[in-house]
A = this chain, B = another copy of it.
Amino acid sequence: MKIDPKSSADLSAQIAQAIKDAIVEGRLIVDERLPSEAELADQFQVSRPTVREALKRLAAQSLIRTQRGAFGGAFVNRLSFEDAYSQQITTSTLLLSMNAVSFDTACEARFALERACAPLSAERRTPDHLATMRAEIVRQNQPGLTDEAFCASDVAFHRALVDGAGNPVLSYQLAGAVEAMQPLMNMITFTARSREAIVALHTRIADAIEAGDATAADAALAELTAYTMTLKDDVMAARAARDKS
């Protein structure tokens, strides 16, 4: 592991990149201990604070974990699906909020991906996934629910649907798309009537998944997509009318 002394980039960034490369390329394996900060400082010919900044960069990406004390140090971390989930969700959320991604674009992506999972979920979902979906439908029927809580339950419902596919890679990919949509969905005011319509569609989806009917699930998801879009159009139209007056 070497760094280029001629490079203009931060030393800590270069060191972090060198170690990251070693991990990605498999030269450093999971749970392997990195040299101590003092040794790394020696090796790279920099000071310890600089090494520490590099290690913090890696820790921020869950690539390493550190342990204090004798025989402590920095260890290559096994990137868990859970760690990846949360990173994915943050990144997706910021991506949408900072880049003026339209509601339509985000919505299209989300439902396109979700429809990719539906057939697999219809085939493989466990009773547990189904129970979660049903429970969320019950929650969504409660009259006193705030819009935020309704959205949160919506996310939970869809995550159960996706998880039902029994493919952690799909769940990981979808977690970002589904959760990142939540802030956008929160823009929508759910009237009693629109909630009713959504719950009806959720019920159709759950029924189809329970019956193992991929086609029906897909059709219901398609309708839900279209209905979500019209809801958003209504909100936009209402806002436009208000702003004009």
Contact = CB atoms under 8 A, between A and B. Distances in A.
Specify which of A24, A49, A53, A168 lies most central, judged by the most chain B CB atoms within 10 Å of its CB: A53
Contacts of A98: 30, 78-79
Interface string A49-62: 10011101111110
A210 B30 CA distance: 45
Contacts of A24: 90, 93-94
A135 to B, nearest CB: 26
Total identical chains: 2
A117 interface: yes
Interface string A74-118: 000011110010011011111111110100011011101101110
A26 interface: yes
Contact of A105 (B90, B116, B167): B167
Nearest to A48: B49
23 contacts: A13-B59, A16-B60, A24-B94, A30-B98, A49-B49, A56-B56, A60-B60, A60-B61, A61-B61, A61-B87, A78-B99, A79-B91, A79-B95, A81-B95, A92-B172, A95-B172, A108-B167, A109-B167, A109-B169, A109-B170, A112-B117, A112-B165, A116-B116
Given A49-B52, A79-B94, A99-B168, 14 more contacts: A24-B93, A24-B94, A58-B60, A79-B91, A79-B99, A84-B95, A88-B88, A88-B91, A105-B169, A106-B169, A108-B167, A109-B169, A112-B120, A113-B173
Contacts of A20: 90
Interface in A141-163: none
Contacts of A164: none
Contacts of A13: 59
A196 B197 CA distance: 50
A206 interface: no
A26 to B, nearest CB: 7
A199 to B, nearest CB: 25
Top-8 shortest CB links A-B: A57-B60, A116-B116, A109-B169, A60-B60, A112-B116, A53-B56, A109-B170, A79-B94
